[in-house]
Each structure stands twice: as structure tokens, then as C-alpha cells.
Copies of this chain bind each other. A is one copy, B any other.
Amino acid sequence: MVNRELIKKLSQLLRKDGVGALMVAPGPDMRFLLGNAPMMCERYQALYVTADEKVFYICNALYVDEITDLIPGEEVFGWFDSDDFTQVVKKVFEKYGLIGKKIAVNGAVRAFNLVRLMKNIDFQVENGKDYLELTRIIKTPEELENLRKSSQVVDKVFNDIVKFIKPGLTEKDIKTEIARLCVHYGGSNASGGIVAAGANAAMPHYMGGSAVIKENDVVEMDFGCTVGGMYSDITRTVFVGKATERQKMIYNLVLKANLAGEAAAVNGAYIPDVDAAARKVVEAEGFGPNFNHRLGHGIGYAGHEAPYIHGDYHMNLAPGMAFSCEPGIYIKDEIGIRIEDVVIINEKGETEILNKCTKELIEIV
């Protein structure tokens, strides 16, 4: 079902920028607008929202019935596998007066399909990734409540997984158990996330899984799931066996940075200052270059969405915003430590740290 209030808001933004329509491929933006989204394969499909508040959809014939049920009363245009879909899109652009206009693309549109459209239709293309992310940057009370519930699920998962980890398991074994526990506690869309042991943890988005947990490894776990469509995202790093003095020093420095970031994340704070509050803790000890990413990202319908918490994101925190605080220190071939919570500025303007499970150094012995 099309959310007419949102369409109105969005069309206003498009008119302000002189954009004729926003092209939205299936993904978090579409779930936000319609409450659901179909599967996406290589076949071109998109919902369009025009500057004059019209809504229509173009998709492969195999999706037409499903989309018609999703947006009752709106026009759905189908194309068949052996058709050139750009010719169907062209006719629809003619019908809606979009030829020659600025068309913005959301974050989910695939480049090769856009290029095919650009070759065959006269329009100007714009980056439209921000439109829907900014439209939902202030979460509703219901969305905030689901964010809390989603974080409660991953807290429970963490408390259980600590008892599960032992030498001899692979990273993948831990991922599989994390995914299972997320579902067990009521989460959806759980992938198991990132599990990195020992020096693998020095790669912040490490995607392997075959390493076997050994005594004296760190195990860094970064995972999430959804509850009521809202994502959680937590990172904890634990030690298998006793941590060395150097490992403890690095852990406690990351923890200090995490707490400094959260202390700075108050209603009205300028986002670059929040990033800097955590970063300067790490820099003061000479580990600045080892904290090689932003402090955090917004979270909600997508795992990563606005606001992005880094030095070049010029916005102030406001009630209803939800974002992660996740400093890390990564030392190639040695170690990686990251500690991440989701934080919200609630309806009263208070800062709430949604993850309650411990951040104290854990040694699994």
C-alpha cells in the first residue's frame, strides 16, 4: 500500500530540486514507502514517484500480479523477458511527461540497467540516494520501539554466544549459531554477520569463515537482525584465554573511545564533533591511523542509512535519530578490536544506548 503522506513529502523535495521523478528499486527504501518489496534479480524494475505526487511501477511480466497487489490502484507496466525493457520505460516516460527531465536514482538501482536506459531515453540522471533516507531520518515512536526490541534480541544472542565460543570451532560455526539464535529470539534477516578470529579481526569487514578458533585469539563479532523491519547492529570482541597486557590496553582504549562517542552523542550535537570525540581518544595514544573508518552510521529500515557519523556530515543530532557508535583499532597481522552499540536520541531528547550487554573485557577460559 502506498503511504500517501510520504509520497507528498517526497514529491515536495523533488520539486524543490527540479527533479521530475525518483526511481526506487526494491530494498529498504521501498519497504519504507510501501511496507514491503519484491525480490530483485537482474531484470529491471522500479517504483517511480513523480514531482507531482504520481506513483507507478515498471517491472518484468513475472512480477506484475505481485506488484499490483502491493500498490492497488496505481499503474503497473510489465515487460517480457524477450523485450527490450528500455522501450517500455520510454513509453511510460512519454506518458508521464518525464522525457528530458531530471530523474534521480535511489541507492538500490543497478548501474548497468541505468546505463541501458540512458542509451535509449533522453533524461538527466541525478543521485537520489538521500531522498528517502532523509525522509525517514527522524524515526517514529513505533520505529524507535522496534529498534529497542531489535537491540534486545542481539543482546540476548551475545550473552548466549559467549558461552558457545571455544577453541576448535570455526568462524563459520559461530556465524551459523549467531544466525540461529537471532531467529530463536524473534529476529528476522539474520545472516550471522562478521565473525573474525585472531589477526583476521584486523580486517573490519572480513568475510572469511574458515579460520579455527585457537587459544589467545580475539573473536570479533559484528551482527544484527530486524524486528518489525528495524535493524539492530552490535559488535563485541572477546578474548579466548587470557588477554595480554597489550591486548588489554588496546581493548580498553577502544572502549574509552566508544564511551566518549556515546557521551558526545547528545541531542543537538554537531555530528562531526561526535566522531571527533571518539577519534581523539584513539589518536591521543597514537592509534589514529588504525581507526580507519567513520564512527558510525544511521540505522533503521536499512542496516546503514542516514545520518552517517563522520567528520564531513554536517548535521546536528535531533530527537528520533538512530545511529551506531563503533570505534575500532585494527593492526594488520596482529589484532582488531571494535565495540559497537546502537544509540538513539529519544522523543524526550535523551540519549539511549540500546545495547545493554556488557562491554567489559571478557576472557573465555
Find A81's partner among B81, B308, B330 (CB 8 Å cutoff).
Answer: B308
Whether A109 and B107, one on each chain, are in contact in the complex, defined by CB atoms closer than 8 angstroms, is no
Residue A236 CB within 8 A of the other chain: no
Chain B residues with CB below 8 A from A37, complex form = 207
Taking a contact as CB atoms under 8 Å apart, the answer to whether B207 and A42 are in contact is no
Question: Do B110 and A312 touch across chains, with their CB atoms under 8 A apart?
Answer: no
Binds B, one of A92-100, A126-134, A155-163, A261-269: A126-134
B interface footprint on A5-37 (CB within 8 Å = 1, 0 otherwise): 000000000000000000000000000000001
Specify which chain B residues have a CB less than 8 angstroms from the CB of A64 in the assembled complex: 292
Given A41-B304, A42-B304, A81-B310, do A65 and B203 touch, yes or no (CB 8 Å)?
yes
Contact call B125/A66, Cβ cutoff below 8 A: no
On chain B, the residues within 8 Å of A127 by CB distance are: 112, 115-116, 119
- In the bound assembly, the distance between CA atoms of A358 and B61 in angstroms comes to 29
Complex partner residue of A62 from B105, B114, B205, CB under 8 angstroms: B205
A293 with B203: CB separation less than 8 A = no
Does any Cβ of B come within 8 Å of A82's Cβ? yes
Q: Is A249 an interface residue (CB 8 A)?
A: no
For residue A111, CB closer than 8 A to chain B, the reply is yes
Contact partners of A114 in chain B: CB under 8 A: 111, 114-115
Query: A212 at interface (Cβ–Cβ under 8 A)?
Result: no
Contact among B111, B183, B204, B310 with A82 in the assembled complex (CB-CB below 8 Å):
B310
Segment 25-58 of A: residues with Cβ below 8 Å from B = 37-39, 41-42
A112 closest partner in B (C-beta): B129
In the assembled complex, A185 has its CB within 8 A of some CB on chain B: no
Contact A60 B125 (CB under 8 A): no
* B118 and A65 within 8 A (CB): no
Q: Find chain B residues with CB under 8 A from A330 CB.
A: 62, 65
User: Is A311's CB within 8 Å of the partner chain B?
Assistant: yes
Residues A62-98 near B (CB distance < 8 A): 62-66, 80-84
Q: Contact check, A205 vs B41: say whether CB atoms are below 8 A apart.
A: yes
Instruction: Look across to chain B and name the residue whose beta carbon is closest to the beta carbon of A114.
Output: B111
Q: Is A202 an interface residue (CB 8 A)?
A: yes
Q: Tell me the nearest residue of chain B to A194, going by C-beta.
A: B39
How far does the alpha carbon of A112 sit from the alpha carbon of B114 in the complex, in Å?
10
A332 contacts the other chain (CB 8 A): yes
- A191 nearest in chain B by CB position: B191
Since A116-B127, A119-B127 are in contact, a sample of 12 more A-B pairs with Cβ atoms closer than 8 Å, ordered by chain A residue number, is A38-B207, A41-B205, A42-B107, A62-B205, A64-B292, A65-B202, A65-B203, A81-B293, A105-B115, A109-B110, A112-B129, A176-B183
10 closest A-B pairs by CB: A81-B294, A109-B111, A82-B312, A82-B311, A112-B129, A61-B292, A62-B204, A66-B203, A111-B114, A62-B293
- Can you list 10 A-B contacts (CB < 8 A)? A62-B204, A62-B330, A65-B202, A105-B111, A105-B115, A110-B110, A112-B127, A115-B126, A118-B125, A119-B127
